[in-house]
Amino acid sequence: MKKYLLFVVAAFIFWGNLFAQKNWKDIKSVEDVCSTYPEQMKKMLDDFNLDYPGLEKVRKAYQKGNIEKACAELLEYYKNGNAAEYLRREQPVPGTGTVASADTILKNVFTIQNVKGVVPYLEDGHRDWYFKGPNTDEEWAWLSNRHSQISEVFLAYFKTGNPEYANYIDLFLRDFIIGSWPYPEKKSSTSVWRGLEVAARVKVWSRIFYGMINSNYLSPATQLLMLSSLPDHAHYNRNFHAQNNWLTMEISALATAATNFPEFKKSDEWLDYAIVTISESMKGQVYKDGVQTELTSHYHNVAMRNFELFEEICEHANRELPEFFVQTIGDMYYYIAHAVRPDGDRILNNDGDRGSDRDLILHAAEKSNRPDWKYIATNGKEGTLPKDGPSYFFPWAGHLISRSGFDADAQWSFFDVGPWGSGHQHNDKLHISVAAFGRDLLVDGGRFAYRGAVADKFRKYAQGSQSHNVIMIDGKGQAPGPRLAEEPLTEKYYRITDDYDYAIGSFDDFIDLQGECKHTRRLFYVRGDMWVVIDEIETDRPREIEALWHWHPNCNVKVEGENVFTDNERGNLRIVPVGEQEWNISFVNGREEPEIQGWYSEEYNTYESNTASIYSTRIEGDSKFIWVLFPSENVANDIKAEIISETNDEMKLRVFNSKNDEWFVTIPL
């Protein structure tokens, strides 16, 4: 009976204490957080080096067992200190202004990779931080946990002074940190504790913590919760980081925590580890020509920005980096500046999005005192004319960038003869993209999406040869090629002169293809005039050949005989097959069955139909196909081409029209 009564009394006390606890939404003061989460606050104080200059009052209170006073003194230290001075901001004058995009976030509507979703709440009042969005896309859940939403609200607060934005940030962070407990202390792929999300939050939280340290709206409880969670974030990035461009993001976050919060016990160790680790990684993931080994311009930029962020972090901490580290960042900017399209956008290749690199290049031009880069980015309106170019070849990456000049209407092309890449690859060796007169003409298909409904439909198409300007053999696309280049391509494989550019590459591994077959493609660009493409097929048996040419969705594509051409108001291209080969030509636009074909994705989770013009033929043995790609501002109706002569060393072509214009082209073989 006594045992029963003791149990009832104990249960009564337990549940009484539980219900006496404040709801997490009402936890705002130092007293609130210390009385509700005493163990978390004690652990947080244990993570600090209390012998750090300025923390004497914190140490004294902690040694007396007064956790609440120690926490209060800790916040006083940060409010009155000078750590991370560059992140501290004067608080805005209170106001009532609004920013539409931030107001949407206040309604709990998050836009992740162009998809809007309303995050639901759970029974305990916390948001469902594992919610995958309206398309059940794990990427949506991951990216929503990077907290870019509150970065946008943060900017709106400082723009308007509206307390609603500050209050939202305060409750958002309290919601997440309490809802994320416990920290698992292991490598994770969950939306809350995956490395990229952990890394992104460290950077966002640093800006918010110091930017609002003296705000009346970021509550003391939230500030202490942030300080309690940051060591967990740093521990994850220190012990469970990935490699390649993920490493750059995660290790730069580790350095962010170490330098913005040097008071943590392990900050010095974190920074030492970060410098060694990211320096070694840079050697392995950036080729000597400055191109990141994934060979995806989109992720090249991600890695480069994080390398540069790391450089800035070390400057704030007065820590020197190896000389090669700074030089490599410059080499990476060199690639961006010289691969850029005339309109300022980057290459669309592999798992990337089309987007502007102009501001990045202008930033680098200013930082590195490169007026020639400014010239390229501004189409010659500012800066000085580059001494090299206008075409460039990157021998480790195998990327040929051809252009007629640096003006906005310049002809531009990208030809890929490099390795498959170390990540985010597409099976698209020998692909060609073409732009001229301010218009995209021949295009890469894009990446569509990684997961969710869009990916279920388009992912194989995006990664496969069928969404690129390559050749299919017996309906088969390319298999993955070598991931990395072991050495740079020599001038045997490319040449750039004042008058022309030339590059050659081969591929011989096709998925489930019977027998042996090798495709060799040569691209010859006659500067300011045209491109000539020579495709050679070496085969041990007859084959069905499909030459794919994908057009930008804004192109009005037509066919005339065996010529496929655009009929655009401005900016056009005509494909002229040369020789006696007979072709069957078909147009495919927005097809879903039996196989996806004729689709284009400029950005993640966006897509639209485009025209794929497919040249089909049967060959009995080794064969050679020649194509003239003739650009023009207006529609060029009567371009013709013929082979004048051919030897083992060279081929001579004559290209002409009815106006007696003619071009003689000699192509090395």
The pLDDT assigned to 15 comes to 39
Cβ atoms 229, 221 nearer than 8 A: no
Cα–Cα distance, 268 to 270 (Å, whole number):
5
d(CA 426, CA 424): 7
In one-letter notation, the amino acid at residue 505 is G
pTM of the complete model: 0.89
- What is the predicted pLDDT for the residue at 659? 83
Token pair in block for residue 530: 């045209």
* Per-residue pLDDT, 244: 87
Ranges of the chain with pLDDT below 50: 1-20
Judging by DSSP bridges, how do beta strands 650-656 and 572-578 pair with one another? unpaired
According to the model, what pLDDT value does residue 62 have?
Answer: 97
Alpha carbon distance 593, 585 (integer Å): 19
Please give the Cα distance from 441 to 551 (Å, whole number). Answer: 5
What structural domains and CATH numbers belong to the chain? 1-240 (1.50.10.100), 267-380 (no CATH), 389-668 (2.70.98.70)
CB count within 10 Å of CB 561 equals: 9
CB 595 within 8 A of CB 562: no
Q: What pLDDT does 13 receive?
A: 40
Instruction: With H, G, I as helix, E, B as strand and everything else as coil, classify residue 665.
Output: strand
* Cβ atoms < 10 Å from Cβ of 312: 14
pLDDT value of position 660? 83
Look at residue 3 in the predicted model and tell me its pLDDT.
44
Alpha helices per DSSP H over 21-162: 30-36, 38-46, 56-63, 67-80, 100-106, 138-144, 148-160
CA distances (Å), 595 to each of 319, 444, 466, 473, 589, in order? 55, 18, 10, 16, 12
